[in-house]
Amino acid sequence: MEHWLHDKKFDTDIELHNSVIHYFNSKKSEFHALGIDLLSEKWQEVLEVEEEYFDY
């Protein structure tokens, strides 16, 4: 998403919202499935960190 939004400027929150929706709609189902599959791993990493800031 960082590359998707790079150098884009939005005049309204709605324009930003629509761009983000378009980004996710343009992805294949495998992209979403992988993200969901990684959630439990990422949650566990967050729980194991004893610092106030978590850098992923």
**pTM of the full structure:** 0.57
What mean pLDDT, rounded, does the chain reach? 87
Residue 53 resides in a domain: no
pLDDT band at 30 (very low <50, low <70, confident <90, very high): very high
Confidence of residue 2 (pLDDT cuts 50, 70, 90): confident
Per-residue confidence (pLDDT) for residue 18, from 0 to 100: 96
**Residue 11 DSSP one-character state:** S
The whole-number pLDDT of residue 56 equals 60
DSSP letters for 28-46: -HHHHHHHHHHHHHHHHHH
Residue 6 lies in a domain: yes
What is the tally of structural domains in the chain? Answer: 1
Domain interval for residue 14: 2-48
In a domain, 56, yes or no: no
44 belongs to a structural domain: yes
- Asked if residue 38 belongs to a domain, the reply is yes
In a domain, 40, yes or no: yes
Q: Is residue 54 part of a domain?
A: no
